[in-house]
Amino acid sequence: MKKNDRDIRWLPGLSWLTALFFLFLYTPLLVLVVFSFNASRSTTVWSGFSLEWYHKAFTNDAIRVATQNSVIIATLAAILATTIATSAALALARNKRMKGKQAFHGAMLLPLMIPEIVTAVATLIFFSTIGLGLGLGNIILAHTVFCIPFAYLPIKARLESMDENLEMAARDLYADKWATLRFVTLPLVMPGIISGAMLAFIISLDDFIITLMLAQAGSTTLPIYIYSFVRVGITPEINAVSTILIGFSVIVVSVSAFLGRKTAS
Amino acid sequence: MRLNATTNMPLNRLPESKPDLKKDKQDVVIPAIEMTDLCKVYSGETPVNALHNANLEVHDNEFFTLLGPSGCGKSTLLRLIAGFETVTSGNLKLFGEELSALPPEKRPINTVFQHYSLFPHMTVLENVAFGLRRQGKSERDAKMTAKEMLDLVQLDQYAQRYPKQLSGGQQQRVALARALAPHPRVLLLDEPLSALDLKLRQSMRVELKRLQRETSITFVFVTHDQEEALAMSDRIAVLSNGRIQQVSDPATIYEHPENRFVADFIGDANFFDAKIDKVDGEFTRYRLSTGDILLGPTTEARSEGAEVSIFFRPEKATVSLDLTGGLRGRVKDILYLGDSTEYRIYLADQSEISLKAENLKDGSPLAEVGTDVAVSVDPNAIRVLSR
């Protein structure tokens, strides 16, 4: 088959459509970022460059506490979720004769398909029924649970692309199961684990609905804070905080994707 | 550096190589590996009987080959010895000690894997030192022995590289060094040469044979390549359909196969259905299905009229234009093979046989395509099998 036959570029207007698509996707973000540097209070009229709003955001105690909460929650939730996801991936990938393997696999990924508001309400009802009042702990628990499938996918992909003979070779060379896990399996799966952890971190950091349901006084996270702030009125300060959040997310996701791509090679 | 250029160099001495104990205790010879009625059934929806009642002894300090087509059970046998598969029934002993219950890491047996399976996240040196470290050697000692092993396979200058940076042949040598470094009692080799190109494969044959002699470690080599098996082995076990067909030295396997499978799988053979026409002392007249009479050796316990299968190797027969004796036929094809020429000949009943003549002079064919020829075979080169 000729290469051109499969090239999608023969479609008329493809380049225009693509340009429009990206314009549509990124213009709002671009506007938000640009106006975070605006010298005036307006978020619609440009009146000169300034870092004033960044300064304000950094000196705002409420933002500082919210950021701190977000980072604590995301870090712990990512660590817990990744640990559980790694164990699950190992159990499912290295257990050939396990019964109901597909069912387990499906159960791992089901949370991805359940509407988040349902999970949020269910979690809220569950926590209040058992009377769990751990403050940030409640949110960390809830985040851990919905982060597991996100952490699980890259780890599973990495494990499946790994040559199982390597583990056999390790056993052959006097490494027991633990030594094989420690010196061969884990180092080789590590890019997948890191990728999974970063994905979980970002998902937790960005989460709004579940956190909103569970957040009590003193456990406000950054997305909740931004939401409550916007309801009062939009200032470039929000733009500044959002820009930082975007930048941070882009960096983490890029690293995650980069490590994930090494899986393929 | 060209790898095949180094194979003619004398090998360095193996570090700490053990003295040959075998000579001192000739009276009590314990086999390196001994299996009695060893069976392996892979359970599943349709259980697969991969190995039927295998009985086999591999001697100490022997280059032993498991030979057979794919799916014959040779890899299963290897994996049972290594411990990657569990024994379904029967016994498996290593120097007299039962192995079946031991996990792979507790068996003093190492494996060279088909696709090398080097650890990609470790340097060549770390790969070779891995087994020694897991055996509890200090890092310093392990690295020192690993260096000596790399020296043995002439890869010492690649110690700090990663496996990915090496050629296939070099990776093969690293895999060998890694498996030999912990001084296993038995080394298993799972078709280690199949991924190499022809020239490299041939030079590695010499190298492996030499390593076996040098280390005095028992080698169990798995292959489907009969030429490889004949060239390297002290003894060969031919397997088919999960059963051991014959265990013998290469010459016996080739010259005196015990059944049709072995005769057919190793080398080429021209088979005939035949009936014993007349036993006449040392020789017997065999009447072929073509009607021709072929003189062959007399075999025990077969009387006149018995139905047998007889065969001869293509190189044991000669073709001649003098039509007074032998099998009559017509040349169908002539294949010039360089060192020899193969003649494909139609017999009277349209069955086809092949024979090979060495090109001792200039290789010009002895007969033309379409000419009538006579094929004669030395009666001592005829083999008789039960049908």
Q: What is the 3-state secondary structure (H, E, C) of chain A?
A: CCHHHHCHHHCCCHHHHHHHHHHHHHHHHHHHHHHCCECCCCCCCCCCECCHHHHHHHHCHHHHHHHHHHHHHHHHHHHHHHHHHHHHHHHHHCCCCCCCHHHHHHHHHHHHCCCHHHHHHHHHHHHHHHCCCCCHHHHHHHHHHHHHHHHHHHHHHHHHHCCHHHHHHHHHCCCCHHHHHHHHHHHHHHHHHHHHHHHHHHHHHHCCHHHHHHCCCCCCCHHHHHHHHHHHCCCHHHHHHHHHHHHHHHHHHHHHHHHHHHHHC
**Model pLDDT, residue B44:** 77
B chain contacts of residue A166, beta-carbon cutoff 8 Å: 117, 119-120
B chain contacts of residue A176, beta-carbon cutoff 8 Å: 103, 105
The nearest alpha carbon in chain A to B181 belongs to: A173
B chain contacts of residue A178, beta-carbon cutoff 8 Å: none
Give residue B7's Cα distance to chain centre.
21
Q: Chain B contact for A186, CB < 8 A?
A: no
Choose among B103, B121, B182: nearest Cβ to A173: B182
Across the interface, do B105 and A168 touch by the CB < 8 Å criterion? no
Within a domain: A32: no
Q: Backbone phi, then psi, for A254, in 5-degree steps?
A: -60, -45
Dihedral in degrees, nearest 10, Cα atoms A222, A225, A229, A230: 60
**Model pLDDT, residue A262:** 60
Burial class (CB in 10 A: 0-12, 13-18, 19+), B335: exposed
Nearest to B174 by CA among B123, B228, B108: B123
Distance from CA of B81 to the nearest CA of A (A): 11
DSSP state of B106: G
Across the interface, do A171 and B84 touch by the CB < 8 Å criterion? yes
Interface of chain B toward chain A, CB-CB under 8 angstroms: 82-84, 103-105, 109-111, 113, 115, 117-121, 130-131, 134-135, 178-179, 182
Across the interface, do B103 and A171 touch by the CB < 8 Å criterion? yes
Q: Chain B contact for A172, CB < 8 A?
A: yes
Distance from CA of B175 to the nearest CA of A (A): 10
Tokens of B379: 């009666």
Contact B251, B219 (CB under 8 A): no
Choose among A172, A183, A184: nearest Cβ to B82: A172
Within a domain: A252: yes
Contact A39, A50 (CB under 8 A): yes
CA A9, CA A40: separation in Å to the nearest integer? 45
If one counts every other C-beta atom within 10 angstroms of the C-beta of residue B57, the result is 18
Within a domain: A33: no
CA A231, CA B201: separation in Å to the nearest integer? 75
Q: Chain B contact for A174, CB < 8 A?
A: yes
Q: Chain B contact for A170, CB < 8 A?
A: yes
Domain count, chain A: 1
Crossing angle, helix B168-180 and helix B198-215, to 10 degrees? Answer: 20
A88 contacts: CB under 8 Å, gap ≥ 6: A104, A108, A148, A152
Q: Backbone phi, then psi, for B110, in 5-degree steps?
A: -120, 160
Within a domain: A174: yes
Structural domains of chain B sorted by starting position, each given as residue range(s) with its CATH number in brackets = 33-108+184-262 (3.40.50.300), 268-386 (2.40.50.140)
Burial class (CB in 10 A: 0-12, 13-18, 19+), B61: middle
Q: Chain B contact for A179, CB < 8 A?
A: yes
Q: How many interface pairs between A and B have CB atoms less than 8 angstroms apart?
A: 60
Write out chain B's pLDDT in tens, 387 residues: 344 444 444 444 444 444 444 444 455 689 999 999 999 998 878 888 899 999 999 999 999 999 999 889 999 999 999 999 999 999 999 999 999 889 999 999 999 999 899 999 999 999 999 999 999 999 999 999 999 999 988 899 999 999 999 998 899 999 999 999 999 999 999 999 888 888 888 888 998 999 999 889 999 999 999 999 999 999 999 999 999 999 999 999 999 999 999 999 998 999 999 998 888 888 888 988 888 888 888 887 677 888 899 999 999 998 888 887 788 889 999 998 888 899 999 988 888 899 998 888 776 777 888 889 999 899 889 999 887
Distance from CA of B111 to the nearest CA of A (A): 7
Within a domain: A213: yes
CATH number (domain holding residue A127): 1.10.3720.10
Pair type for strands B340-347 and B317-320 = unpaired
Contact B130, B120 (CB under 8 A): no
Beta strands in B193-313 (DSSP E): 218-223, 235-240, 243-248, 270-280, 283-288, 293-297, 307-312
Distance from CA of B270 to the nearest CA of A (A): 41
Which of A97, A168, A174 is the best mutation test for B, with the most CBs of B within 10 A? A174
User: Which residue type, as a one-letter code, is found at position B251?
Assistant: A
Distance from CA of A16 to the nearest CA of B (A): 44
Q: Chain B contact for A20, CB < 8 A?
A: no
Across the interface, do B119 and A165 touch by the CB < 8 Å criterion? no
| Segments forming the whole domain that contains residue A93 | 55-264
Distance from CA of A189 to the nearest CA of B (A): 11
CA B145, CA B153: separation in Å to the nearest integer? 13
Across the interface, do A173 and B115 touch by the CB < 8 Å criterion? no
Q: Chain B contact for A168, CB < 8 A?
A: yes
Tokens of B179: 């498996």
Helix (H, G, I), strand (E, B) or coil at B40: strand
Nearest to B149 by CA among B122, B121, B129: B129
Tokens of A110: 């089901």
Q: Chain B contact for A109, CB < 8 A?
A: no
Contact A151, A196 (CB under 8 A): yes
The nearest alpha carbon in chain B to A166 belongs to: B117
Pair type for strands B63-67 and B218-223 = parallel
Write out chain A's pLDDT in tens, 265 residues: 455 566 777 778 888 899 999 999 999 999 889 888 888 887 778 888 888 888 888 888 888 899 999 999 999 999 999 999 999 999 988 877 778 888 888 888 888 889 999 999 999 999 999 988 788 899 999 999 999 999 999 999 999 889 989 999 999 999 999 999 999 999 999 999 999 999 999 999 989 999 998 888 778 899 998 888 888 877 788 888 889 888 888 888 888 788 766 644 4
Contact B15, B148 (CB under 8 A): yes
The nearest alpha carbon in chain B to A185 belongs to: B119
pTM of the model: 0.81
User: Which residue type, as a one-letter code, is found at position B57?
Assistant: E
**Model pLDDT, residue B27:** 57
Which of B80, B122, B133, B134 is the best mutation test for A, with the most CBs of A within 10 A? B134
Distance from CA of A163 to the nearest CA of B (A): 8
Count CA within 13 A, CB hemisphere, residue B12. Answer: 15
Within a domain: A105: yes
Across the interface, do B115 and A165 touch by the CB < 8 Å criterion? yes
Tokens of B272: 């005939």
Contact B16, B37 (CB under 8 A): no
Tokens of B65: 């080959």
Distance from CA of B165 to the nearest CA of A (A): 14
Average predicted confidence (pLDDT) for chain A: 87
